Amino acid sequence: MEGSTDSTPVEPLLALRGISKRFTGVQALAKVDLDVRAGELHVLFGENGAGKSTLINVVAGTYWPDEGTFRFGGEDIHHLPPQRARAIGISPVFQEFSLVPSLTVEENLFLGREAASGGILRVGEMRKRARALIDELGFDLDPGSRVDDLSRAHQQMAEIAKALLGRVRLLILDEPTASLTERETGRLFELIERLKRQNVGLIYVSHRMREIRALADRVSVLRDGRLIKTLDAAACTDGDLVELMTGRKIDLLYPVITHKPDRIAVDVENLTLVDGSVREVNFYAQSGEITGIAGLVGCGKSELIRAIYGLEPIAAGLIRIDGVPYEHPAPRQSLKHGIAYFPANRVAEGLALSRPVRENASMTALDLDSFAQFGVLRPGAERAAIALIMDQLKLKPPNIERIAGALSGGNRQKVMLGRALTRELTVFLFDEPSVGIDVGAKLEVYQFMKRLVEADAAVIVVSSELPEVLALSNRLYVMHHGRIATELKGEARTEQNVLASFFKEHLTAEVA
Ligand SMILES: Nc1ncnc2c1ncn2[C@@H]1O[C@H](COP(=O)(O)OP(=O)(O)OP(=O)(O)O)[C@@H](O)[C@H]1O
Ligand SMILES: [Mg+2]
């Protein structure tokens, strides 16, 4: 009977009907229907806080919905602890990572699986399988390294490998490329194509239009916890999707920024870091313009700005702020020098998850004393200031007394950004500024940078999203293996030139 006639409707792999989920004070999902077919990639699209991760958590068994029905593989599911979800082939890669930091990649892959597969005898086999899988994925990842020694990109790769180790029928990816660059992203996309051919269903969350275009068979748009519409990807434009997502028309353009390069605000001479991730780098950034830094994962671009802020040990070289040598950079000192830093890894480095948004936004990173003072001296003014800032960034829900841990991923990022507006600062270091934030919020962040540079601040943007860093920066450095490979200005700032220098050897550094 199965597939005997073309007209027999094939039951989807996953069929959710009327799914609702409420958290204190928020209806995260309201009567959502979702079908995912075997062999299809189904994108969930929606603003920060729309309910995408909550829906994924329901599918993966992390939350049981308050109401609704759940069918998977033609069977009604009445109870779904995460273990069972994995056992029946539902495999999630979450937005916030789940690896155990003190274990190796390999150990993390085996975790919870050894017993199930019959103990010691299988361990050797599983190790072989883990290595083969990582090879097959084409990820440049050492299975023997400890997770806490890995960059965020490598942790992401390990998460993906972990999800693929068992038998997978439905793979769930919540913003998997947020910390991958072009090359790893390409590998992931090849893998996705293979899985689709093997009839695996995929749920994919992304805020990046290019990816949605490249991958999606269908798109379900969520807004305020409700399903607005499910569309065939081929039959809708970016504009359609954004309009459905926000309920209004939005221009997807980058703002026109007037750069007026002025004094040299940050000047780095022959900088080499203890771990060798940055070697003999010469670099400067002027006030009144955005300086971009592009490069592949592991090229040292994040480490460079982290070193300026005082988060990476320096082996040799000199940093000057406004022409004055800045010895032994440290975060607290950096703030006094007017330097702000926005980490890409907002959860681990940025936020106190058990504290309210208000405290997190006013507590300038690692500067707890000044926060306490601020809080004690002018609580009312603080509240009003933060409320205004978070309103500009469109925090959802717009409640600054909510704890940061209850926010969606993108809204956490907004809280981090809100911090910069609470102080008199002159140098802004952004590491992957738009990771995980929706189209509307991205535009807010770009507008925010525009205001900063037009008010004569120096803004340095490290980004793996080429269109972003090209559009925003006035001058652009490309890093390769810890060194500056190229500096591009004006007309020379093209995607082709950047890509070419990703792979070419560091000629400029070598000659010097
Ligand atoms: N554990 C939780 N406790 C309380 N509220 C929560 C919790 N998780 C999510 N929420 C709330 O539920 C709503 C939906 O959040 P969800 O994380 O699903 O959004 P999202 O669409 O994934 O957004 P993003 O694009 O920012 O990741 C938000 O209002 C969020 O604040
Ligand atoms: Mg999310």
Using pLDDT thresholds of 50, 70 and 90, give the confidence band for residue 220.
very high
- The residue contributing the CA closest to ligand 1 atom 17 is 408
CA distance 96 to 408: 10
264-338+424-511: CATH topology: Rossmann fold (3.40.50)
pLDDT at position 122 is 63
Mutate to test the pocket of ligand 1, among 20, 23, 346 (most ligand atoms within 8 A of CB): 23
DSSP letter at 311 equals -
Q: Taking the CB of residue 354, how many other CB atoms lie within 10 A of it? A: 10
Tell me the helices (H) and strands (E) count for the chain, helix number first.
18, 20
**In Å, what is the CA distance from 187 to each residue of 181, 191, 296, 481?**
10, 6, 14, 20
Helical (H) or strand (E) element with 88: none
14-246: which CATH architecture? 3-Layer(aba) Sandwich (3.40)
Q: Is the pLDDT of residue 252 over 70?
A: no
Please name the residues in contact with 239: beta carbons below 8 A apart, sequence gap of 6 or more: 249, 252
pLDDT at position 411 is 86
Name 314's bridge partners.
Answer: 273
- Condensed to tens digits (0 to 9), the pLDDT of residues 493-502 reads 888 888 777 7
For residue 255 and ligand 1, the question of a CB distance below 6 A is answered with: no
Task: Looking at mean pLDDT, say which of 30-39, 166-175, 334-343 comes out highest.
Answer: 30-39
**In Å, what is the CA distance from 129 to each residue of 136, 149, 431?**
10, 23, 35
Backbone CA torsion sign across 50, 53, 59, 64: negative
DSSP letter at 376 equals H
Q: What are the DSSP calls for 191-219, one per residue?
A: HHHHHHHTT-EEEEE-S-HHHHHHH-SEE
pLDDT at position 91 is 94
Q: Is the pLDDT of residue 231 over 90?
A: yes
Q: Is the pLDDT of residue 367 over 80?
A: no
User: Is 67 strand, coil or helix?
Assistant: strand
Q: Rounded mean pLDDT of the chain?
A: 85
Q: Is the pLDDT of residue 129 over 90?
A: no
Q: Which amino acid is at 480?
A: H
Q: Which amino acid is at 429?
A: L
pLDDT at position 443 is 84
Mutate to test the pocket of ligand 1, among 21, 27, 54 (most ligand atoms within 8 A of CB): 54
Tell me how far the alpha carbon of residue 196 lies from the centroid of ligand 1, in angstroms.
28
For residue 407 and ligand 1, the question of a CB distance below 6 A is answered with: yes
pLDDT at position 219 is 97
Q: Kindly state the average pLDDT of the residues 272-291.
A: 96
- Condensed to tens digits (0 to 9), the pLDDT of residues 295-353 reads 877 789 999 999 999 999 999 999 999 999 999 999 888 888 989 888 776 655 678 88
pLDDT at position 209 is 84
Q: Is the pLDDT of residue 289 over 90?
A: yes
Tell me how far the alpha carbon of residue 157 lies from the centroid of ligand 1, in angstroms.
24
Percent of all residues in the chain with a pLDDT value above 90, rounded to a whole number? 44
Q: Kindly state the average pLDDT of the residues 89-107.
A: 87
37-58 b/e (C-beta count within 10 Å ≥ 16 → b): bbebbbbbbbbbbbbbbbbbbb
For residue 104 and ligand 1, the question of a CB distance below 6 A is answered with: no
Residue 23 has which token pair?
Answer: 């958290």
CA distance 307 to 512: 22
pLDDT at position 420 is 67
| 442 close to 414: Cβ distance less than 8 angstroms | no
**In Å, what is the CA distance from 409 to each residue of 44, 98, 158, 254, 500?**
15, 14, 20, 23, 33
CA distance 383 to 359: 9
pLDDT at position 2 is 44
Using pLDDT thresholds of 50, 70 and 90, give the confidence band for residue 379.
low
For residue 96 and ligand 1, the question of a CB distance below 6 A is answered with: no
For residue 347 and ligand 1, the question of a CB distance below 6 A is answered with: no
Tell me how far the alpha carbon of residue 444 lies from the centroid of ligand 2, in angstroms.
19
Q: Is the pLDDT of residue 373 over 50?
A: no
- The residue contributing the CA closest to ligand 1 atom 1 is 406
Same fold, 14-246 and 264-338+424-511: yes
Tell me how far the alpha carbon of residue 51 lies from the centroid of ligand 1, in angstroms.
6
pLDDT at position 512 is 31
Least confident of 54-58, 147-151, 211-215, 279-283: 147-151
Using pLDDT thresholds of 50, 70 and 90, give the confidence band for residue 503.
low
User: Is 441 strand, coil or helix?
Assistant: helix
The backbone torsions φ and ψ at residue 499, rounded to the nearest 5 degrees and listed phi first, read -60, -40
Using pLDDT thresholds of 50, 70 and 90, give the confidence band for residue 106.
confident
Q: Is the pLDDT of residue 12 over 90?
A: yes
The ligand 1 atom nearest the CA atom of 436: 25
Least confident of 23-32, 41-50, 345-354: 345-354
**In Å, what is the CA distance from 283 to each residue of 34, 257, 290, 301?**
50, 22, 13, 11
For residue 221 and ligand 1, the question of a CB distance below 6 A is answered with: no
pLDDT at position 180 is 77
Q: Is the pLDDT of residue 9 over 80?
A: no
Using pLDDT thresholds of 50, 70 and 90, give the confidence band for residue 3.
very low
Domain edges within the chain: 14-246, 264-338+424-511
Q: Is the pLDDT of residue 452 over 70?
A: yes
The backbone torsions φ and ψ at residue 57, rounded to the nearest 5 degrees and listed phi first, read -65, -30
- Condensed to tens digits (0 to 9), the pLDDT of residues 467-478 reads 889 999 999 999
Q: Taking the CB of residue 430, how many other CB atoms lie within 10 A of it? A: 26
pLDDT at position 423 is 66
Q: Kindly state the average pLDDT of the residues 228-249.
A: 88
- Condensed to tens digits (0 to 9), the pLDDT of residues 387-433 reads 888 887 888 888 999 998 888 888 888 888 787 666 678 999 999 88
pLDDT at position 332 is 82
pLDDT at position 225 is 94
pLDDT at position 112 is 66
The backbone torsions φ and ψ at residue 368, rounded to the nearest 5 degrees and listed phi first, read -65, -35
Using pLDDT thresholds of 50, 70 and 90, give the confidence band for residue 5.
very low
**In Å, what is the CA distance from 206 to each residue of 19, 173, 415, 506?**
21, 9, 20, 33
Q: Is the pLDDT of residue 374 over 60?
A: no
Residue 458 has which token pair?
Answer: 């120096």
Burial class (CB in 10 A: 0-12, 13-18, 19+), 235: exposed
Task: Specify whether the backbone of 298 is left (phi greater than 0), alpha (psi in -120 to 50) or beta.
Answer: left
377-412 b/e (C-beta count within 10 Å ≥ 16 → b): eeeeebeebbbebbeebbbbeebbebebebbbbbbb
Ligand nearest, relative to CA of residue 173: 2
Tell me which residues have their CB within 5 A of the ion that is ligand 2: 53, 95, 408-409
CA distance 170 to 14: 8
For residue 46 and ligand 1, the question of a CB distance below 6 A is answered with: yes
- Condensed to tens digits (0 to 9), the pLDDT of residues 396-406 reads 888 999 998 88
Residue 376 has which token pair?
Answer: 């004690």
